[in-house]
Structure 1
């Protein structure tokens, strides 16, 4: 593997693990406060407070673990990007920039991962490498 490709993959690994861990904290906070949040969580899409909370937890906790592992990376980044779009454009639409800035930053990182994929240091890469080297 060329050195430039290794550096790119290392950068994607650092990005995936860092952003995955940071967002995982948000999901774990929602899990630990589920009983309190289930009746007061924002319902921007009209699904109900509890289902909105569960959807956010699924993205923020579940998909973040997948990002960290580099497993189904592009697919895992889609619910995360959608959650951040809802947060940025709907939930915090009327808030000042400093309130919605974090959602915007996360959104662009997820879009980047959707476009680039996880890099070579990922379970996705191991899977495709193994799949392409197995006899058919």
Structure 2
């Protein structure tokens, strides 16, 4: 069977991007208050909470379409790291109740974003000729 790396990259882009986009869209309907509270507890201005929309809506859309995939994936990965350290820091070295890593979904998002950062979007991306593609 012939290897099709570009189809695999498209599948990763679509799955990672669409699944995280759903998280971002859910925050549009009031889910941002929880994040504002976490940001305030750290002594940071609440407006920083709106950065979640960049990492969970704009970056996933760019990844899905394939526009500046590497840049969008870097933003996405940073968003995942912020989520890990702000909301899930107690679970980094923990197992869930079914034996998997307690933050395995967030880990999959993070490592998927890192994979796209290193590979780019592939030939099925909208934009392919920039250093950030």
Q: TM-score category by the smaller chain?
A: 0.7 to 0.9
Secondary structure of 2:89 counterpart: coil
Number of equivalences: 121
- Measure how far apart 1:36 and its partner are: 4.2
What aligned pairs does 1:95-110 form with structure 2 within 5 A after superposition?
Answer: 95=91, 96-98=94-96, 99-110=102-113
**TM-score relative to the length of structure 1:** 0.77
Cα distance change of structure 1 residues 123 and 46 upon mapping to structure 2, 3 Å threshold: farther
Give the Cα separation in 2 of the matches to 1:72 and 1:63: 9
Secondary structure of 2:103 counterpart: helix
2:48 matches 1:51: yes
Q: Between Structure 1 and Structure 2, which shows a larger proportion of helix residues? A: 1
In the other structure, the counterpart of 2:99 is none
Give the Cα separation in 1 of the matches to 2:82 and 2:61: 21
Secondary structure of 2:23 counterpart: helix
Structure 1 unmatched ranges of 5 or more: 130-136
What aligned pairs does 1:1-136 form with structure 2 within 5 A after superposition?
Answer: 4=3, 7-34=4-31, 36-37=33-34, 39-40=36-37, 42-43=38-39, 46-52=43-49, 54-95=50-91, 96-98=94-96, 99-125=102-128, 128=129
* Bigger-Rg structure (1/2): 1
Cα distance change of structure 1 residues 100 and 12 upon mapping to structure 2, 3 Å threshold: same
**Structure with bigger RCO (C-alpha 8 Å, 6+ apart):** 2
Q: CA RMSD in A?
A: 2.3
Give the Cα separation in 1 of the matches to 2:54 and 2:82: 15
- Measure how far apart 1:88 and its partner are: 2.0
Give the Cα separation in 1 of the matches to 2:21 and 2:116: 16
- Measure how far apart 1:37 and its partner are: 3.9
